[in-house]
Amino acid sequence: MVGVLAVISVLVAVVGPNFIRKIVDNVSIKEGKSLETLAQGLRQSLRNTQTIPGGVTWSASVATATGLNPAEVLYADPNNPATSQRIMVIDPRFSPSTGADPVFTPTSAGALAPTNARVMLVSSTKRGLALPIAGGKAANTAANCALFDNVWNWTLNPFTKLPPTGWPAAWDGQGEHLHVQRVNLADEFYRVTVSNSNFPTNIPFGKFNLASTYPFDVTNAVDSYYVRGTTIRLYRHDTPYVSVPVNPDELCISHTLKSDVNFIYDGNPPRWRIP
């Protein structure tokens, strides 16, 4: 009996840690794939709604885009919501930013070239080990920018398992339970230029998505960035210009934005074209 117990003790000592290691690895792989799916959902939500959600509404937006249950989006472990909440952290220097939540809402005038358009989906998969950072877009201070960069640039050292620089001691040696999905949304914006060669004789109009009618009343009318999937409708204006009409004359081009594009209004009779 003593011999049997000794053998069992040896087997437990050998197999136990390997079994636990396998569980942790499987959880890590599963969470990594989940965050990849949610990141794709975030991109799809941006294209569908033309807005970038903030730290509060991101999970509902992604749930709608992916068809997942909101709890499946917001929690790595729905049975342990207290310490398994996933968060979306936005670079404090994020631009273009038009608000707190949503962070970005487009206008007819477009936006400046995106800079630091970075977000992270972050989660913890160890029960009781809560994330020490908040979701959303923090104030643009040196400390907040450093905090964001420390997580963005962090990679797991499999030997030390240290967390990102500056994290609390509770996370020392627990880095394997931290999961970060990095998303650079700069590639969701495209440059659009609009030139009206017939100004001031003709003032054509356009609509970007459902925004207000936009008059191209200068020669170089637009040089801005818009989100992938933006619907651009360009109209000829063949009546004397007084003000923006309720229903612009003659739709000439309807274009869904998938790359950088330039529109020119010229010719006789004048019309829109993509050179």
**pLDDT score at 202:** 85
**pLDDT score at 94:** 96
What domain count does the chain have?
Answer: 2
Q: What is the DSSP letter of 112?
A: P
Residue at 20 is within a domain: no
Residues 82 and 98 in one domain: yes
What is the radius of gyration, based on Cα positions, of the chain?
26
Please check whether residue 238 is in contact with residue 258, taking contact to mean a CB–CB distance below 8 angstroms.
no
Residues 56 and 90 in one domain: yes
**pLDDT score at 269:** 84
Residues 142 and 260 in one domain: no
**Two structure tokens written together for 195:** 């030139």
3-class SS at 86? coil
Q: Decide which of 157, 187, 217 is a domain's last residue.
A: 187
Q: Which domain holds residue 257?
A: 188-273
> What are the DSSP E strand ranges found in 1-127?
87-90, 118-124
The dihedral sign for the CA sequence 55, 60, 64, 68? positive
Please check whether residue 77 is in contact with residue 54, taking contact to mean a CB–CB distance below 8 angstroms.
no
Taking each helix axis from N to C terminus, what angle separates 58-66 and 2-49, rounded to the nearest 10 degrees?
Answer: 90
**pLDDT score at 9:** 54
3-class SS at 115? strand
Q: Virtual CA dihedral for 135, 136, 139, 144, nearest 10 degrees? A: 40
User: Which residues, in sequence order, are bridge partners of residue 206?
Assistant: 214, 234
Which parts of the chain register pLDDT below 70? Answer: 1-26, 238-249
Residues 79 and 146 in one domain: yes
> What is d(CA 113, CA 239) in angstroms, rounded to the nearest whole number?
35
Residue at 22 is within a domain: no
Residue at 97 is within a domain: yes
Q: Decide which of 135, 163, 187 is a domain's last residue.
A: 187
Residue at 198 is within a domain: yes
Q: Decide which of 187, 203, 231 is a domain's last residue.
A: 187
